[in-house]
Structure formats: C-alpha cells, structure tokens
Structure 1
C-alpha cells in the first residue's frame, strides 16, 4: 500500500471513519479535503445492485450537468459532407472521416469524446477494439451516434456526461471541480443521481443503491447513507 503524505493524513481526519453522511453534509465536506496544488475534480463513485452480465440489468446513459464538469472536453466528430462544418461550428475540436480514422489506427487519441453520424458507423467498425477498450466507441445509448451531430457536439462541450456500469456494478464520474460553489456541486450531483434512479432496471431486485461516495481526485472518500440519498432524491 502506498504511503500517504502528512497533508493527506491531516485532511483525512476530517472524515469520520465508519460514518455514513447525509447528502448536504458530504457535499459540503468534500471541498474541504483538498490536498493537491491543482484544482481537483469532485468525483462520485457508486456501486449498484445490478448484475451487468445480464443485458436487462445494464445501466448506461447520459446526463447534462447543469454546471458542467469544469473540464474542457475535446470532441472528435466522425462525419462527412456538410456535417463536418456543422460539427466545427458547434464547437467540435476535430471533424472529418477517413483521415481521423487512420490517425486513430496509428495511435492518435487527443480527444475525450467521439461523436459519429450513423452513416459512418460501418467505417468505424474497424476501430471497435481500439476505441472500445478506452470506452470511446460511439453508441446510440450514450448519445454519441446521431444524425444531429451539431446538437450532440454542443451538449458534450457544455458538460453532457456519458456513463456506464462496469462489470463490478460500479459507476465513477466527475461532477465538478473543487472550486465550484457548493450549490453548483449539489445541483450537478442531484442531476446525475436522478438519472441513475430513472435508469433503474426492472430486473434489479433488492437494494439498488449499494454504496454512494464522493471524493476529490486526491482526497479521501466520503461515504453517504444510501437510505438518506434515496429520500433526498425523492424530495
């Protein structure tokens, strides 16, 4: 186990061992656990009561955070014809077809999101393994395969978040920066968690929200009381 620095250990004392925090208290506490010299990201980690091995228990979707993630997202649009200029006008960092597909095949990854128009998906098939292992393969369920490339580009540049449960039933996403006002972090958290609740699979039995924790990039995890989280979202 890596040794923790003196500053981290001091900050960690702010988080009570074994305590399950209510939502407001946890979100206010997380910004006080800064240990890095850079502006850390506020992250939410969930474990859900689903079995991702079954197609009817997959939890996958997108949500537009009211205040964005605070991160500048580089968007690549794989498209052709008039859509290339539409994507660029909407804020895409890169837009094109075969030229970018070839660049990716050669190891280029200077982007965070790939958006594709449906007509380009057959050509993108050859990148399935390359993009799939990095979670970057466009998919209609994540809003990254669409004929309306301009709207998709604009939404992701403004803070649209794509997420997907992993094989352990976990989801890990950013919901802002440590220098965000507390109310903005809270509104982003609520928007994300409301979407998680909405996507609860009918096949999921028992407790859906197994664990919910919030932390900064380099800070200690702050676990929330899942019963209180559920009540908070219902309010």
Structure 2
C-alpha cells in the first residue's frame, strides 16, 4: 500500500467523509487542507446521472469563471489576413496557419487552447489525431471555431473553461487556486454548477447531479450536497 504522508493524515481528520457539506463549508475545508508547498489547484468532480454511451445524454459546454482559474492560458489561433491581426490584437500567444500546423506535427505543443476561424479548419482538421486525444481540437460547440476571434481569445484569457462528461459519467474541472479568497472560489463553483445544471439533457431520467466532490491537488475530497450546490 502507498504510504500516506503526515500532512495528508492531518487533513483527512478535518473532513467528515460521511457528511454532505454546504458549498461554503466545503470550499473553506479545501483551503484549510491545501498544505502543499505550491499553490494547489482546486478541482470539482461531478458524477452525473447520464449514460454517456448515448448521444442524447452527452454533456459538454463552456463557462467563463468570474474569477478565472488562476492560470493564464496560452492561446494559439489558426487565422490569416485581418483575422490574424485581430487575434494578435486580442492577446493570442501564437497566430498563424500552415506553418503552425507543421510545428505541431513536429511535436511542438507549447500552448493550452487552439482556436480557428471556420475557413482554417482545413488546416487545423489535419491535426485531429494530435489535438483530439488531448481535448484541444477546435470545435464549434466549445466556441473555438469562430470568426469572432476577439471574443474567443478574450473569453479564454478571462477564465473560460470547457467541461465534458467522461465515459464514467463524471465531469472534472478546475475552479481556481487554493490561494483564492473563499468568496471567489464559491462564486466560481456556483457559476460552473449553475451552467452544468442548465445543461441537463432532456433524455436524462432520475437524479441528474448524483454526487459532487471538491478537492485541492494534494488534499482529500470534500463531498458537497447536490441540492444545496444549485439552491437559489
């Protein structure tokens, strides 16, 4: 069995594993149990009452967190002409076309999000085998295939995150850093849960939000009451 460190043992003692906490309590506990030497990421894991094998029960979308994630994302944009200039003015880190695609095919991956104008999908589409498995392929559903480049780049830089249910029916997203004020983490948490609740597929039956857990990178999971998480 893996050895459990003293800090983690102490952190576990602060969490009642059988209790469903209110969001504010959960966030405060996560901050208190984040004892690593680096600024830990605060993550939310939500188990949904959906069957991802069915197309009409897929859950996927985006949300702009009010206070961002605490990480500045490097944005790459496939565009030419005026749209390339628009991307540069909006703050994109890398802008180009075929030359960028060739770099990526050669193994270069020094970016976090890829955006493309619709007319450039012929270039970006060839990178499907590389970007697809990493969840980085430009996609209209996530707002990363668009002619409104200024808006797309601005949202990513402001804290836009993409969420997507996995094969096990679980969604994992970051909502900030342990160094964030508790109020900011709570607002980010609420913004994500509100959007996720509205994304419920019509084909879903029974309880949609089955379980919610919040945790820091090196800390224990804190269970949150699904009912209280989306209470108005």
1:2 is displaced (CA, Å) by 2.6
Normalising by structure 2, we get a TM-score of 0.97
Provide the rounded CA distance (Å) in 1 between the counterparts of 2:36 and 2:99. Answer: 39
1:152 is matched with which residue?
152
1:32 is matched with which residue?
32
1:51 aligns with 2:48: no
1:228 is displaced (CA, Å) by 2.6
Provide the rounded CA distance (Å) in 2 between the counterparts of 1:69 and 1:38. Answer: 15
8 A Cα contact 2:17 2:222, kept in partner: no
Q: Deviations over 1:115-144 (max 9, x none)?
A: 111001122221111100000011111111
Provide the rounded CA distance (Å) in 2 between the counterparts of 1:164 and 1:37. Answer: 30
Provide the rounded CA distance (Å) in 1 between the counterparts of 2:165 and 2:115. Answer: 20
Secondary structure at 1:47 match in 2 = strand
1:86-105 equivalent positions in 2, closer than 5 A: 86-105=86-105
Q: Deviations over 1:35-89 (max 9, x none)?
A: 2101111110111111111111111111111110111111101111111121111
Provide the rounded CA distance (Å) in 1 between the counterparts of 2:227 and 2:175. Answer: 21
Across the aligned residues of Structure 1 and Structure 2, the Cα RMSD in angstroms comes to 1.0
1:234 aligns with 2:208: no
Normalising by structure 1, we get a TM-score of 0.96
Secondary structure at 2:95 match in 1 = strand
2:108 is matched with which residue?
108
Provide the rounded CA distance (Å) in 1 between the counterparts of 2:120 and 2:180. Answer: 38
Q: Deviations over 1:95-125 (max 9, x none)?
A: 1110110111111111110011100112222
Provide the rounded CA distance (Å) in 1 between the counterparts of 2:203 and 2:231. Answer: 21
1:6-21 equivalent positions in 2, closer than 5 A: 6-21=6-21
Provide the rounded CA distance (Å) in 1 between the counterparts of 2:94 and 2:184. Answer: 30
1:186 is displaced (CA, Å) by 0.6
Q: List runs of 5+ in structure 2 lacking aligned partners.
A: none
1:168 is displaced (CA, Å) by 1.1
Q: After the TM superposition, which segments of 4 or more aligned residues of structure 1 sit over 6 Å from their partners? A: none
1:50-89 equivalent positions in 2, closer than 5 A: 50-89=50-89
Secondary structure at 1:101 match in 2 = helix
Provide the rounded CA distance (Å) in 2 between the counterparts of 1:117 and 1:134. Answer: 20
Provide the rounded CA distance (Å) in 1 between the counterparts of 2:51 and 2:104. Answer: 33
Provide the rounded CA distance (Å) in 1 between the counterparts of 2:187 and 2:127. Answer: 36
Provide the rounded CA distance (Å) in 1 between the counterparts of 2:7 and 2:213. Answer: 21
Secondary structure at 1:12 match in 2 = helix
1:140 is matched with which residue?
140
